[in-house]
Amino acid sequence: MQFENKLRKLIIEAVGSSYLKKLTELNESDSMFRIIKVIVYYAAYFAMYFYAIKLPLPYFVILALGMWCVLVINFNRINVITHDASHYQIFNNKKMNDNIVNFLCAYTCLHDVQQYRKSHNVHHRSLHTDEDPDTEFYSLNVKKVLSDLLLITFAKQLLYNTSKVKKSVFVYLFQLIILSSFYMINDDVPAAILHYTIFFFYPMTGLFVLVIRIRTHIQHYSESNSTISRTTLPSFVEKLFIGQKMEYHMEHHLFPGIPYYNLIALHKKLSETLYKDAEFNSLITKTYFTDVH
């Protein structure tokens, strides 16, 4: 915490408090564009499914892998939008902020802005302590990867959430709507259930969970149990599958009131001055696959 406070103080001295306050202003047009991209990706996903079920099995499998990729990218985008909404960084109107994100994004992949906010606030207050709810995802090893891919992590989180957190009924209703969409396209109940399970439920509860682990591990893992986060400057492909506007995570933890697009501006400004110091530059990685152990 002392290092975090030291860095925050140095940043305020370097750029000025008035500049930082200006960076908290929201760009609602950017927010709407991000939400529209979620809808477009879902449309592309179901268009691929509509076409895939008409193909012979080998081609169906190939296209299904593409569906997995589209879906994991979209789930990750939704996760980051939900994160930003939990900080009231999507729309200035707080009800609009929560409701639009919930009904157009979050509910479709078992997210809930209000419940996410409760958990995420604890994460910010208690980073790297026993109370930090995200510590489960700080470790990355073969056992953890298998746990994610075999849905063990999801099952543990589900049991925790069922006992500790009451999510909106819409979280579950939206899964029925999505399952119904598979049926409307396929017109076959057993096939719709099977395809929903393999091509929607598993990517959501297995592959996507692994993506979250990779990102969280790089952002937060520290053998010294540091209370500071880490910024990552990844390639385009890494940004697409893992980053999704969460790259500037060190700056985010220092100034959580600043939306991601203004964190980019802050990072660039600091790169010209403060980040030239090796002590702070070491908290910036070039890829999500950097070995931070």
Read off the pLDDT band of 161 (50, 70, 90).
low
Determine the average pLDDT of the residues in 221-236.
78
Model's pTM, two decimal places? 0.93
Give the model's confidence band at 285: pLDDT under 50 very low, under 70 low, under 90 confident, else very high.
confident
For the cut 70, the answer to whether the pLDDT of residue 236 exceeds it is yes
Q: How many CA atoms lie within 13 A of 181 on its CB side?
A: 18
Location of structure tokens 């902020």: 97
Query: pLDDT for 162-181, tens place per residue?
Result: 555 567 889 999 999 999 99
Which percentage of the chain shows pLDDT scores above 70? 94
For 31-45, 115-129, 195-209, 226-240, which range has the lowest pLDDT when averaged over its residues?
A: 226-240
How high is the pLDDT of residue 275?
83
Q: How confident is the model at residue 255 (pLDDT cuts 50, 70, 90)?
A: very high
Q: Are 205 and 154 in contact (CB under 8 A)?
A: yes
Distance between CA atoms of 283 and 3, rounded to whole angstroms? 12
Calpha distance 168→72 (Å, rounded): 23
pLDDT at position 166 is 67
Question: Would you call 231 helix, strand, or coil by DSSP?
Answer: strand
Task: Please state the rounded mean pLDDT for residues 29-54.
Answer: 96
Q: Is the dihedral of CA 152, 157, 163, 169 positive or negative?
A: negative
**Residue 151, pLDDT score:** 96
The predicted pLDDT at position 165 comes to: 57
How far is it, in rounded angstroms, from Cα 269 to Cα 256?
A: 17
Average pLDDT over residues 219-245: 83
Cα torsion 102, 116, 111, 235 to 10°: value is: 100
pLDDT of residue 101: 98
- pLDDT in the model for residue 279: 72
Higher-confidence residue of 219 and 90: namely 90
pLDDT-based confidence at 272, cuts 50/70/90? confident
Q: Using CA atoms, how far apart are residues 157 and 151, in angstroms rounded to an integer?
A: 10
- Does residue 258 carry a pLDDT above 70? yes
For residue 263, which of 277, 245, 275 has the smallest C-alpha distance? 245
Handedness of CA 223, 2, 24, 286 (dihedral sign): negative
Is the Cβ–Cβ distance between 142 and 204 less than 8 Å? Answer: no
Q: Which of 15-29, 108-122, 233-247, 276-290 has the least mean pLDDT?
A: 276-290
Using DSSP's 3-state secondary structure scheme, residue 91 falls into coil
